[in-house]
Structure 1
Amino acid sequence: MPINAVIFDIGNVLIEWQPERYFAYHIGEERTRAMFSEVDIHSMMNRIDAGHAFDQVVEGTAQAHADWHDAIMMIRDNWADVASPAIPLSVHLLRQLRTKGIPVFALSNFGAENFPVSVAKYPFLEEFDRHYISGQMGMIKPDAAIYAAVEADCGLSPDTLLFTDDRHDNIAAAQARGWQTHLFDGPEGWAHCLVKQGLLTKDEAQ
């Protein structure tokens, strides 16, 4: 089946999302483990990704956990450094696909307010032909509704969409709709997939 568009997740595909690592560097590994055991940071981010206000959710979480207030606020105040760094080979692959005229979309669980902060640091995030950002859409992966919204907006047959994401549940939801998929476990594997699909040559994917 031909590929009519390639769809990238962003976190851990184009830019790294490892908040535990960020906090381990800034407050130490022991305190990081303690904070993440007491504060559900990932649940907080899910609320933001689903469309809740970035500042309000982070501030509310910080106020509810006084012992970790200052650390939690670092997510708001230093967002571009928390969601960092870029994954260079993935960025290269994105640009190579665009150079060859292959439509590229972003489908990412990302807050409406913090996404522009990441775009300011990583301008390549503006290079997609279409953006599907969960916080802007008010729906979130792996809910079927967000995949259906992508299909309705782009007008392409599901079986002609090639999607990469680092989470098994997000991939399974795409597969259930007939999308072609690649579970991202590193840019080298993604490069191999694009070559195997005939979208890029080996030289282009390096």
Structure 2
Amino acid sequence: MTPEAVIFDIGNVLIEWQPERYYDSVVGEERRRAMFAAVDLHGMNDRVDRGEDFTGVIYETAEAYPEFRDEIRMWRDKWIELAQPVIPHSLHLMRALRGKGVPVFALTNFGIGSFDYAVPFYPFLKDFDRHYISGHMGVIKPDPKIYQMVERDCGIAPDRLLFTDDRADNITAAAARGWQTHLFEGPRGWAERLVQAGLLSAEEAAA
């Protein structure tokens, strides 16, 4: 069944999101491992993604762990260095779909403040036909509620939505609602999936 809309995750699909890599480069792997063992930094980020204040949550966490205060504050102060670089082939695929008139949506675990912070650096984030940003929705993937909210808003039958995400649990939750899905393991495989779906030709999908 040919999809009526394509839904992209953002982190590790369109923009690399590897905080551990950033910290390894600035404080060293040993210090990074100690910090991540002591502080639930991804849990902290989930709070932001659910809609809590970007700066407030991170700075509050930093003050709670004074031995890592400076490093934790980097999650806010150096955020754009954590969220980089763009994955060029994925961006090409997004633009190729839109160029053919295929509706392209974003469904992403992203905070209100962090998304607003990212847009000037990555202007293409404004180009989706619909934005489903978890911070604004008050719920994060893979909670089934977020997928239901997308369905209600866009009015497209679940089996006509094609969704890619780099996390298997997010894909499993979407598939459980009847969505067409693709586990993102690199842009080449995603390109092939879009060709198989009849949305792009091999030439249009090529990097």
> CA-to-partner distance for each residue in 1:15-39, whole Å, 9 max, x for gaps?
0110000000011111111111111
For 2:117 and 2:191, locate their aligned partners in 1 and report how far apart those are by CA, in whole Å. 27
Q: Structure 2 matches for 1:100-111, cutoff 5 A?
A: 100-111=100-111
For 2:60 and 2:48, locate their aligned partners in 1 and report how far apart those are by CA, in whole Å. 12
Name the structure 1 match of 2:143.
143
**Matched position secondary structure for 1:163:** strand
For 1:120 and 1:79, locate their aligned partners in 2 and report how far apart those are by CA, in whole Å. 13
For 2:69 and 2:160, locate their aligned partners in 1 and report how far apart those are by CA, in whole Å. 46
For 2:37 and 2:68, locate their aligned partners in 1 and report how far apart those are by CA, in whole Å. 11
> CA-to-partner distance for each residue in 1:125-155, whole Å, 9 max, x for gaps?
1110000000011111111111011000000
Name the structure 2 match of 1:112.
112
Deviation at 1:2, TM superposition (A): 1.9
Name the structure 1 match of 2:52.
52
- Contact conserved, 2:2 with 2:198, CA < 8 A, in 1? no
Name the structure 2 match of 1:84.
84
For 2:179 and 2:193, locate their aligned partners in 1 and report how far apart those are by CA, in whole Å. 15
For 1:120 and 1:30, locate their aligned partners in 2 and report how far apart those are by CA, in whole Å. 33
Name the structure 2 match of 1:199.
199
Q: Structure 2 matches for 1:155-166, cutoff 5 A?
A: 155-166=155-166
Unaligned runs of 5+ in 1: none
For 2:67 and 2:88, locate their aligned partners in 1 and report how far apart those are by CA, in whole Å. 37
One-letter code of the match for 1:154?
A: C
One-letter code of the match for 1:175?
A: A
> CA-to-partner distance for each residue in 1:79-113, whole Å, 9 max, x for gaps?
11111111000000000000000000000000011
One-letter code of the match for 2:122?
A: Y
One-letter code of the match for 1:118?
A: A
The percent identity for this pair of structures is 62
Q: C-alpha root-mean-square deviation of aligned residues, in Å? A: 0.7
Name the structure 1 match of 2:41.
41
- Contact conserved, 2:8 with 2:163, CA < 8 A, in 1? yes
Name the structure 2 match of 1:122.
122
- Contact conserved, 2:13 with 2:166, CA < 8 A, in 1? yes
**Matched position secondary structure for 1:113:** helix
One-letter code of the match for 1:103?
A: P
One-letter code of the match for 2:142?
A: P
| TM-score, length-scaled by structure 1 | 0.99
Deviation at 1:194, TM superposition (A): 0.5
Name the structure 1 match of 2:174.
174
Deviation at 1:69, TM superposition (A): 0.3
**Matched position secondary structure for 1:204:** helix
**Matched position secondary structure for 1:162:** strand
Unaligned runs of 5+ in 2: none
| TM-score, length-scaled by structure 2 | 0.98
